[in-house]
């Protein structure tokens, strides 16, 4: 009997203008951005990526890479991009016994990763809450989510990467880089622990294993929770005063100031303040925690007490429920901005070391109650810190290691004719919040820059960033010079670039 063989890799498939599939594959998740490349190359293996990059370099054609397609800016749809590599078919997930680590291809979605790791080994990673996001971009930008306060960033568990790079002579090749101290390619691994996608090469595989983890595969990554205890509170905007709103938001921030040290008894709780615009009719606070953590219900109760202290506004929702963990983290559509018809959006972000100031809270209230914001415009304060802050700023490319929250400013709409109005509203809102520091979150005692997985090209535009602090400092802080050295070594021709890409030294 002939031995069974692995099925051949998918692809490559070359899709060019005129092909009936072409128009359907141009857009990513944000319908604002649509490219017109000469070719969309759907690839299914590392060898296919090497060949595709080789051909593009030889032809002098700009190349970009897409896995899940959730980039907030036009990095993959820039008009200069002539070859778009679609990695969505590279979605295998499994255990690599040789490396004692879990291998994840970049096209796998976060939902696939969570389900596979859970079903096979009962483990997980502290990644994002939107199951449709591709692992490719999420991991390389740092990656965080519901479990990060308990387990750190995704890249704190990244053991290695396989990357297709281009040498100075134009030769494309695959390189494996790990966190092993004696790995001669370790700098390439380090750059992928928060350096952002599209900078150094094409990642074709990630390996995940927690530092110092030993034993069988079920012990090499954090154990997955079985049940989620979720608490949802909501208040109507009708009758809401500025004092009550800002007190709630301030209390949320102060709670995170006091409960975000590594090892804190409350580090297992993940909190969200979803401050929707008045036109949405309400705003809400959400808390999520592993229901089987000792005292979980008490932690949630203490959180609610702290957030609502000094207020008496009636809630329209006051819900506490327990549900399967995977239901919340893998349910299709969770965390998506808008739906299939409203995928035009603009998002800005900033790290927070403490609560917003009283001036900033007043600005937030004013912008969320003005006449120009849409029903899907909002500010999200997202719980952070905890175990994330147990890692030193230079151990990975993620430099922000004492933040306690992330602030996410967003607006979502459906009609292209409304682009200018929505973008203007968000830009003005963001600029007003950071008016004391040139319109952007310059690192100080309150802010700590921004998050590269929420890219915002306005940070590189002097019309919107008048601080004199460049975008690369806002994203990478003191880690940027080291990223530049990695860029010079591994992408000496500048093949991989975009509007916010890492530049070689001297640029």
pLDDT-based confidence at 338, cuts 50/70/90? low
| Burial class, 54, CB count within 10 angstroms (exposed 0-12 / middle 13-18 / buried 19+) | middle
Q: What angle do CA 98, 100, 105 make, to 5 degrees?
A: 85
DSSP 432-495: HHTGGGTTS--SSSSB----TTS--GGGG-TTT--SS--HHHHHHGGGHHHHHHHHHHH-TT--
Distance CA 144, CA 396 (A): 14
Residue 117 predicted with pLDDT over 90: yes
Written as six digits, the tokens of 397 are: 């490319």
Radius of gyration of the chain, Cα coordinates, nearest whole angstrom = 22
| CA–centroid distance for 148 within its chain | 12
Residues in the chain: 507
Q: Is 286 helix (H, G, I), strand (E, B) or coil?
A: strand
Q: Do 93-223+483-490 and 227-476 share a fold? A: no
Q: Is 177 helix (H, G, I), strand (E, B) or coil?
A: strand
Strands (E), 129-209: 158-166, 172-178, 202-208
DSSP 9-26: PP--EEE-TTSTTTGGGS
189-203 pLDDT per residue, tens: 999 999 999 999 999
Residue 458 predicted with pLDDT over 50: yes
Written as six digits, the tokens of 440 are: 């952007």
Most confidently modeled range among 7-11, 253-257, 311-315: 253-257
Residue 328 predicted with pLDDT over 80: no
pLDDT-based confidence at 287, cuts 50/70/90? very high
Distance CA 197, CA 61 (A): 19
Q: What is the pLDDT of residue 425?
A: 98
CB environment 386-399: b (16+ within 10 A), e (fewer): bbbbebeeebbbbb
Mean pLDDT to the nearest integer, 472-499: 98
390-415 pLDDT per residue, tens: 999 999 999 999 999 999 999 999 99
Higher-pLDDT residue of 507, 224 = 224
Residue 4 predicted with pLDDT over 70: no
Written as six digits, the tokens of 489 are: 């070594």
Residue of 453, 339, 368, 362 whose CA lies nearest to 406: 453
Give percent of the chain above pLDDT 90: 94
Written as six digits, the tokens of 367 are: 């912008």
Distance CA 131, CA 110 (A): 5
Beta-bridge partners for 378: 276, 410
The rounded mean pLDDT for the chain is 96
Q: What is the pLDDT of residue 340?
A: 67
Distance CA 259, CA 252 (A): 11
Tell me 109's DSSP state: B
Contacts of 125 (CB under 8 A, 6+ apart): 113, 114, 117, 143, 147, 151, 154, 157, 208, 221, 222
Q: State in words which class domain 227-476 has.
A: alpha beta
Pairing of the two strands 83-86 and 63-66: parallel
For tokens 């303040």, the residue is 273
CB 245 within 8 A of CB 310: no
Q: Is 245 helix (H, G, I), strand (E, B) or coil?
A: helix
Residue 62 predicted with pLDDT over 80: yes
Residue 73 predicted with pLDDT over 70: yes
Assign residue 142 a region (left: φ > 0; alpha: ψ between -120 and 50; beta: otherwise).
Answer: left
91-113 pLDDT per residue, tens: 999 999 999 999 999 999 999 99
Written as six digits, the tokens of 128 are: 């994002």
Q: What is the pLDDT of residue 1?
A: 44
Residue 179 predicted with pLDDT over 70: yes
Q: What strand order describes the sheet that includes 344-352?
A: 317-324, 227-236, 282-290, 270-276, 378-383, 405-413, 344-352
Q: What is the pLDDT of residue 5?
A: 61
Question: What CATH architecture applies to the domain 13-86?
Answer: 2-Layer Sandwich (3.30)
Query: What's the fold here for domain 93-223+483-490?
Result: 3.30.465
Per-domain residue ranges of the chain: 13-86, 93-223+483-490, 227-476
Residue 433 predicted with pLDDT over 50: yes
Residue 447 predicted with pLDDT over 70: yes
Packing angle of the helix pair 242-258, 296-308 (nearest 10 deg): 140
């Amino acid at each position: 009997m002939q031995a069974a063989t692995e099925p051949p890799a998918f692809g490559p498939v070359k899709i060019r203008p005129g092909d009936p599939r072409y128009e359907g594959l141009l857009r990513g998740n944000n319908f604002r951005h649509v490219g017109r490349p000469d070719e969309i190359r759907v690839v299914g293996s590392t060898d296919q990526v090497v060949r595709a990059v080789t051909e593009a370099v030889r032809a002098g054609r700009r190349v970009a890479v897409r896995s899940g397609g959730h980039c907030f800016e036009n990095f993959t749809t820039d008009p200069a991009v002539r070859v778009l590599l679609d990695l969505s078919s590279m979605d295998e997930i499994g255990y690599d016994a040789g490396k004692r680590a879990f291998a994840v291809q970049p096209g796998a979605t976060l939902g696939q990763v969570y389900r596979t790791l859970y079903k096979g080994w009962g483990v997980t990673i502290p990644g994002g809450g939107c199951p449709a996001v591709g692992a490719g971009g999420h991991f390389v930008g740092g990656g965080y989510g519901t479990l990060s306060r308990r387990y750190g960033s995704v890249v704190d568990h990244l053991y290695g990467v396989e990357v297709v790079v281009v040498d100075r002579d134009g030769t494309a090749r695959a390189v494996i880089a790990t966190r092993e101290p004696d790995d001669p390619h370790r700098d390439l691994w380090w750059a992928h622990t928060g350096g952002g996608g599209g900078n150094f090469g094409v990642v074709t595989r990630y390996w995940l294993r927690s530092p110092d983890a030993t034993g069988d595969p079920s012990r090499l990554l954090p154990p997955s929770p079985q049940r989620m205890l979720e608490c949802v509170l909501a208040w109507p905007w009708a009758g809401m005063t500025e004092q009550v709103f800002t007190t709630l938001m301030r209390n949320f921030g102060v709670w995170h100031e006091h409960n975000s040290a590594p090892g804190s008894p409350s580090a297992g709780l993940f909190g969200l303040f979803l401050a929707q615009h008045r036109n949405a009719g309400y705003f809400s606070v959400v808390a999520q925690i592993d229901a089987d953590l000792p005292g979980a219900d008490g932690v949630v109760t203490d959180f609610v007490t702290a957030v609502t202290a000094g207020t008496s506004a009636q809630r329209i929702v006051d819900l506490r429920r327990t549900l399967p963990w995977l239901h919340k983290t893998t349910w299709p559509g969770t965390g998506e901005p808008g739906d299939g018809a409203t995928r035009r959006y603009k998002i800005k972000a900033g790290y927070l070391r403490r609560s917003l100031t009283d001036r900033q809270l007043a600005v937030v209230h004013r912008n969320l109650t003005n006449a120009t914001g849409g029903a899907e415009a909002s500010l999200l304060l997202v719980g952070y810190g905890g175990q994330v802050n147990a890692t030193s700023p230079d151990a990975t490319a993620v430099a922000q290691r004492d933040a306690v929250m992330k602030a996410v400013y967003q607006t979502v709409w459906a009609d292209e004719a409304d682009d200018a109005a929505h973008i203007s509203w968000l830009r003005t809102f963001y600029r007003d919040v950071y008016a004391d520091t040139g319109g952007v979150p310059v690192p100080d005692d309150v802010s700590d820059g921004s998050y590269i997985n929420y890219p915002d090209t306005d940070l590189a535009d002097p019309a919107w960033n008048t601080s004199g602090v460049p975008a690369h400092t806002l994203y990478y802080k003191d880690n940027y010079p080291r990223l530049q050295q990695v860029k010079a070594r591994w992408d000496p021709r500048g093949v991989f670039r975009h509007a916010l890409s890492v530049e070689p030294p001297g640029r």
